[in-house]
Amino acid sequence: MGKPTGFMEYQREIPGDLPPHERILHWKEFHRPFPEEKLRQQGARCMDCGIPFCHTGKLLNGMAAGCPINNLIPEWNDLVYRGLWKQALERLLKTNNFPEFTGRVCPAPCEGSCTLGINAPPVTIKNIELAIIEKGFEEGWITPQPPPVRTGKRVAVVGSGPSGLACADLLNRAGHTVTVFERADRIGGLLMYGIPNMKLDKQVVQRRIDLMAAEGVTFITRTEVGKDYPAEKLLTEFDAVALCGGATKPRDLPVEGRNLKGIHFAMEFLHANTRNLLGGSLEEENTLTISARGKDVIVIGGGDTGTDCVGTALRHGCRSLTQFEILERPPLERQPDNPWPEWPKVFKVDYGQEEAIAMFGSDPRVYSIQTKRFIGDEHGHVQALETVNVEWVAGANGRRAPREIPGTEKIWPAQLVLLALGFLGPEDQLLAQLGVERDERSNVRAASGKYATSIPGVFSAGDMRRGQSLVVWAIHEGRGAAREIDRYLMGDSEITA
């Protein structure tokens, strides 16, 4: 702890952003640079507390508390304060394969569990993490490090999202020959196509993929295992298999009119947008598979995906934008049933809502509302939807559930509706071909910490195993699966995860 009084001397500061009216004109990341002296001051705010809850990585009340990958946060905060950036990078990379991803898209449960956050704004952990890794790339400290010796063992990783990449990265470092299969045309999974460019620039993703390829990882795109590549071949051509395909089956909204044109799952919208952006023709209206330009857009569902739909629709030039949340509006401060170090369930304004407020003058979110039906025109295209307000009441079992409020029905104009309702679990085809057991939520059955499925030599990690979750949890899972696969292949493992 380089400055014991730092948390009393310095206030929390984060980099400013480009104004919303400027940033919605492009698809670039919009955070402004932050001076190094400011970063060092923010590192000085870390208290080096006796029990650093920031890196405990536990689930409390069903939500993450602390860093799931157990980042050594107090250590690299102190090193940044002292200007020892290269040493800070070394500590950071001991636990996190991809700080450039988590430093951009993670909701920072570490900050929610920061001890300073009990009675003051928490340390800017996420921002410091991103600064460390980006300085590492800028200074040329991060270079390909292929393993000095190969084991002769071959491992297939199915899926190139954060869990698959983390698993492949550690297994390659351990000397195994790793092949990653991806059904899309580019590697990265959720990182490439599920998160918009202004939040995670795709050159950042490609930079890491190129580094892994230079270290010896083989990437195969446009190949869906179970369709283009028989699942059984995995078991004969590889010594071990890691299933990291994610939980990509979207939750639907089966109400009247659901089959109308213009109603899309959020990932269809986001994927199409990024695909066109990477093709360099996003500005040409006729190349957009799903366009929000000039339309009344309604996003049904909150969370990060809903926010990303909001930000993307604004950049298309939508006429109006509304976001429905069936839940009640969160409180402004922690409630007694949500104590520190739990994740703070409080009202926040994310980048998409901030942009919508700047464009249309009010927060786009409408809380405690439920969609009853979609209304179409004579051509079978959605034109409006009907909603009803709800109140949350406790049932006989004590669980709270929504109840419609009579007389609150309303018709909303909408020519584009985006369903951001989360995901139900992994798709069926590959898992059925392999015959792996599944749990009651349809995820792959594999014990936490072991990751082994019912098929010998086949492991699973990430959302495919645990269900829809955060990128940082996916990295945690991929690292753990790599350790167990290495143990399976070699009898023991020196991988720490």
Question: Each residue's pLDDT tens digit in the chain (497 positions)?
Answer: 668 899 999 999 999 999 999 999 999 999 999 999 999 999 999 987 888 999 888 888 888 899 999 999 999 999 999 999 999 999 999 999 999 999 999 999 999 999 999 999 999 999 999 999 999 999 999 999 999 999 999 999 999 999 999 999 999 999 999 999 999 999 999 999 999 999 999 999 999 999 999 999 999 999 999 999 999 999 999 999 999 999 999 999 999 999 999 999 999 999 999 999 998 544 444 445 799 999 999 999 999 999 999 999 999 999 999 999 999 999 999 999 999 999 999 999 999 999 999 999 999 999 999 999 999 999 999 999 999 999 999 988 889 999 999 999 999 999 999 999 999 999 999 999 999 999 999 999 999 899 999 999 999 999 999 999 999 999 999 999 999 999 999 999 999 88
Q: So what's the pLDDT on residue 286?
A: 44
Q: So what's the pLDDT on residue 288?
A: 57
CA 190, CA 160: separation in Å to the nearest integer?
Answer: 8
Q: What is the CATH number of the domain that holds 475?
A: 3.50.50.60
Instruction: List the structure tokens of 48.
Output: 């080096």
Amino acid present at 31: H
Spatial CA neighbour of 158 closest among 230, 71, 64, 261: 230
In a domain, 187, yes or no: yes
Domain that holds residue 111: 6-138
In a domain, 495, yes or no: no
CA 364, CA 362: separation in Å to the nearest integer?
Answer: 6
362, 275: one domain: yes
60, 175: one domain: no
Q: So what's the pLDDT on residue 61?
A: 86
237, 265: one domain: no
89, 186: one domain: no
399, 485: one domain: no
| 126 within 8 A of 106, measured Cβ to Cβ | yes
CA 260, CA 74: separation in Å to the nearest integer?
Answer: 53
- 457 — alpha (psi -120 to 50), left (phi > 0) or beta? left
In a domain, 81, yes or no: yes
274, 294: one domain: yes
224, 256: one domain: no
Q: So what's the pLDDT on residue 1?
A: 62
Q: DSSP readout, 59-85?
A: EETTEEES-TT---HHHHHHHHHTT-H
Collapsed DSSP state (helix, strand, coil) of residue 112: helix
In a domain, 100, yes or no: yes
Burial 313-344 (b: 16+ CB within 10 A, else e): bbbbebebbbbbbbeeebeeeeeeebebbbbb
CA 186, CA 72: separation in Å to the nearest integer?
Answer: 32
Spatial CA neighbour of 161 closest among 187, 133, 122: 187
417, 430: one domain: no
In a domain, 119, yes or no: yes
Domain end position, chosen among 421, 442, 468: 421
In a domain, 361, yes or no: yes
CA 178, CA 219: separation in Å to the nearest integer?
Answer: 9
Spatial CA neighbour of 88 closest among 146, 29, 135, 126: 135
Collapsed DSSP state (helix, strand, coil) of residue 345: coil
Residues 6+ apart with CB under 8 A from 411: 375, 384, 385, 386
Domain end position, chosen among 373, 394, 421: 421
| Domain count across the chain | 3
CA distances from 440 to 247, 399, 456, 469, 474 (A): 14, 20, 21, 17, 20
84, 114: one domain: yes
Q: What is the CATH number of the domain that holds 44?
A: 1.10.1060.10
Q: So what's the pLDDT on residue 339?
A: 93
Measured in degrees and rounded to the nearest 5, phi and psi for residue 390 equal: -130, 160
Amino acid present at 448: S
Domain end position, chosen among 421, 446, 477: 421
Q: DSSP readout, 427-482?
A: -SHHHHHHT--B-TTSSB---TTT-B-SSTTEEE-THHHH-S--HHHHHHHHHHHH
362, 378: one domain: yes
177, 203: one domain: yes
33, 11: one domain: yes
Spatial CA neighbour of 13 closest among 41, 36, 49, 48: 41
pTM assigned to the model:
0.95
Residues 6+ apart with CB under 8 A from 121: 11, 12
Q: What value does the CA radius of gyration of the chain take, rounded to a whole number of Å? A: 23
In a domain, 258, yes or no: yes
CA 161, CA 167: separation in Å to the nearest integer?
Answer: 10
Instruction: List the structure tokens of 109.
Output: 């449960």
| 266 within 8 A of 309, measured Cβ to Cβ | yes
In a domain, 149, yes or no: no
| 479 within 8 A of 166, measured Cβ to Cβ | yes
